[in-house]
Amino acid sequence: MRRGQQSTARGEPTGGPPGGAYCIDRFLVTALTVPAGVVDADGVVVELNEAMGEWEGRSPEELVGRHVSAFAAPARASELEAIASATIGDGEPRVTAGMHRGHWLRFRYYRAETPGEGSLVCIMAVDPWRSDALEDGAGERVVESRHHDLADLAALSTREGEVLWHLGRGKSLPRIASELYRSVKTMEAHVRSIGVKLGLRGRVAMISLVQDRGLSHMTLEQVKRVFGSGDRAGT
């Protein structure tokens, strides 16, 4: 929390002006329900909660003391380190959106000060488009990440990514075909290809994937950029 402020039972800051440093016991991060961690200006992990450990498929103890490159591809790790360092430097909260492990997520960054140590660190929380990581996020400016980890979605072509996104918005194949200026047969071929590549049977399963992975929160332009990027693996 910020100096002179009270924290909630979950260790979240309440009220106060934007900017500045939270004076927060970094171990309160372990109480957050969303995946969250604490890193220093060099990108070294100081603390992780159980939710982040589950997300990364490893125990928090395995990752504490290691660089963020232990769980992110090189280019993505460099970006995370740069954002954390900038947040620690100027105290301005930051929010980015990007693909990580095939999920479209928001990443929230806050400067924190550890009581008794006086060191400045960065709280990084993964927010699956539920505005409850640390603040409500009303009116926030979200900056798109430059590097993305598509995981299994990297097998899809840019067009297949577009078709999948349109399906997730509840559109019929004739409507998608019309919007993409292609035939319905071509759309059917794309759906079959998506099913084979992702191991999905039927459009209902594809719609569920779009919803579950947050792809419905992407714009069509973001879909084109992310699926058409030469940096598909985040390397």
pLDDT in tens, 42-56: 899 988 888 888 888
Please compute the mean of the pLDDT values over residues 57-64 and round it to a whole number: 88
Q: Would you call 110 helix, strand, or coil by DSSP?
A: strand
pLDDT tens across 73-85, in order?
Answer: 888 889 989 999 9
Element (H, E) at 12: none
Residue 70 pLDDT level (bands cut at 50, 70, 90): confident
User: What does the pLDDT read at residue 195?
Assistant: 97
Site of tokens 């071929």: 189
Cβ neighbors of 60 (< 8 A, separation 6 or more) are: 47, 48, 49, 50, 52, 53
pLDDT for 130 beyond 70: no
Domains of the chain with CATH codes: 22-144 (3.30.450.20), 151-228 (1.10.10.10)
d(CA 189, CA 144) in angstroms, rounded, equals 31
Residue 172 pLDDT level (bands cut at 50, 70, 90): very high
Percent of the chain with pLDDT over 90: 41
Residue 3 pLDDT level (bands cut at 50, 70, 90): very low
User: What does the pLDDT read at residue 135?
Assistant: 53
d(CA 156, CA 4) in angstroms, rounded, equals 50
Element (H, E) at 124: strand 120-127
Q: Give the residue with greater pLDDT, 14 vs 177.
A: 177
pLDDT for 19 beyond 60: no
pLDDT for 40 beyond 60: yes
pLDDT for 20 beyond 90: no
Residue 116 pLDDT level (bands cut at 50, 70, 90): low
d(CA 189, CA 211) in angstroms, rounded, equals 22
29 Ramachandran zone, left/alpha/beta (phi>0; psi -120 to 50) = alpha
When the pLDDT of each residue in the chain is averaged and rounded to a whole number, the result is 81
pLDDT for 152 beyond 50: yes
d(CA 215, CA 223) in angstroms, rounded, equals 8
Helix-helix angle 184-198:158-168, to 10 degrees:
100
pTM comes to 0.78
